[in-house]
Homo-oligomer: A and B are copies of this chain.
Amino acid sequence: MYYIGVDLGGTNIAVGIVNEKGEMLKKGSVPTNAKRPADEIIKDMGELCKKLITEQGITVDDVEYAGIATPGTADHDNGIVVYANNLPFENYPLAAKLSEFSGIKKVLIENDANAAAKGEAEMGAAKGCNNSVMITLGTGVGGGIIIDKKVYSGFNYAGGELGHVVIEVDGAQCSCGRKGCWEAYSSATGLINMTKAKMQETKDTVMWEIAPTLEAVDGKTAFDAMRKNDKAGKEVVDKYIKYLAAGLINMINIFQPEVLVIGGGICKEGENLTKPLQEYIDKEEYARSNKQRTTVKIAALGNDAGIIGAAMLGF
C-alpha cells in the first residue's frame, strides 16, 4: 500500500508518496499562491497528487489515504480547518475537498507543526518513542506533542502552542498579543532582534563587519561573530541559549517525553547550541537526579518532516 503526504505551506504545496515503511518514494511541489480562493489551491494540490500517482505507476486505489499538514487549527476528527492565519481557510472542509479533487477516498488532516512532530516520532529523531515533543525554531517557535504515538492537540484542536508560553512576565512583545512568550526570544526572529539590539548598543563588534547594515542581520550573525572570538557576539549567543534552555526545561518538566526534538535552521549550529543547552538542563531539570531522563535530539527529517508526518497520520 501507498500513502500520500502533503505539506501545505504559505509559499509551496509539497507532496510525497510514501510506502508502508515511511520511505519517501517520490516528491513534487507547486506554488501555493495563497491569496487565491481555497478551492483553487486545493484543486492544484489534487492535480499534483494525481500526477505523482501516475509517475509512480500506481493508481488512486493503491493509495490507502492522503494526509495533509496544514497551517492553522486543524479539526482532525472532521477534516476541517477551523482557522488559518495565512491561508483563506475558515471552517473549510479540507479533507473532503482534496478527496473530491484527487479521487483519493480517505484524507486526514493535521496542523503542520503537529504533523512534523508525528513525522519525527515515526521516522526521525524520536523514532520508536510513545511520547515525544518537537519544538521548531523558525520564524516562530512551533510545537507538537505526541502522546501514545498520537498527536495531542486538546479538546478544540488548538493546543500545542508551545511557543506561546510566557517565560518572562512583561517581557518582549510577541505577535500573539502577550508579552514575554518563549517565541519572542527563541525564534530566529527573536535571535535577530537580540542581535540587532546588541549591535545598536555597541559599535565595537565584528557583527558590524558580518552584517554592515541591520537589514543584513540573520540568525547566523551572532554565532559567526562568536566563532571569530567576538565578545558582543558571544553575549548574544549566551543570552539566546539561556532563554532557549529555560523554555526547553519547561517542556521537560511538563511532559518528561522520551525524546525532545529540536528543529529549524538554527540547529545547524550543532554542538555550539546543544552542549550549553545540555549543561543548563543537567543543572535545572526537575528530575535531574532520575535514572531515566529525557534525551534532547536535533530533528532528523529536515523539510520532509511535514510530508512524512502527514503520510503517517493514520499509523
Secondary structure call for the A interface: loop
Q: Which residue of B lies closest to A177 (CB)?
A: B284
On chain B, the residues within 8 Å of A165 by CB distance are 165, 250, 253-254
**With known contacts A161-B253, A168-B168, A253-B161, A156–B246 Cβ distance under 8 A:** no
Q: Is the CB of A136 closer than 8 A to any CB of chain B?
A: no
When the two chains form their complex, are residues B152 and A147 in contact, meaning their CB atoms are under 8 A apart? yes
A60-93 residues at the B interface, CB under 8 angstroms: 73, 82-83
Query: Quick one: which of B167, B254, B257 contacts A160, CB cutoff 8 A?
Result: B254
Q: Mark A123-144, 1 if CB is under 8 A from B, else 0.
A: 0000001110000000000010
When the two chains form their complex, are residues B255 and A154 in contact, meaning their CB atoms are under 8 A apart? yes
On chain B, the residues within 8 Å of A243 by CB distance are 169
**With known contacts A169-B167, A284-B178, A290–B256 Cβ distance under 8 A:** no
Q: Is the CB of A315 closer than 8 A to any CB of chain B?
A: no
**With known contacts A168-B169, A290-B73, A254–B254 Cβ distance under 8 A:** yes
On chain B, the residues within 8 Å of A249 by CB distance are 166, 178
How many copies of this chain are found per oligomer? 2
User: Smallest Cβ distance from A178 to chain B, in angstroms?
Assistant: 5
Query: Quick one: which of B131, B158, B160, B294 contacts A290, CB cutoff 8 A?
Result: B158
Query: Quick one: which of B147, B164, B171, B258 contacts A286, CB cutoff 8 A?
Result: B164
On chain B, the residues within 8 Å of A171 by CB distance are 169
A202-252 residues at the B interface, CB under 8 angstroms: 242-243, 246, 249-250
Q: Is the CB of A153 closer than 8 A to any CB of chain B?
A: yes
A87-136 residues at the B interface, CB under 8 angstroms: 129-131
A160 CA to B287 CA, complexed, in Å: 11
A140-186 residues at the B interface, CB under 8 angstroms: 143, 145, 147-148, 152-162, 164-169, 171, 176-178, 180
Q: Is the CB of A200 closer than 8 A to any CB of chain B?
A: no
Q: Is the CB of A292 closer than 8 A to any CB of chain B?
A: yes
User: Smallest Cβ distance from A145 to chain B, in angstroms?
Assistant: 8
When the two chains form their complex, are residues A253 and B164 in contact, meaning their CB atoms are under 8 A apart? yes
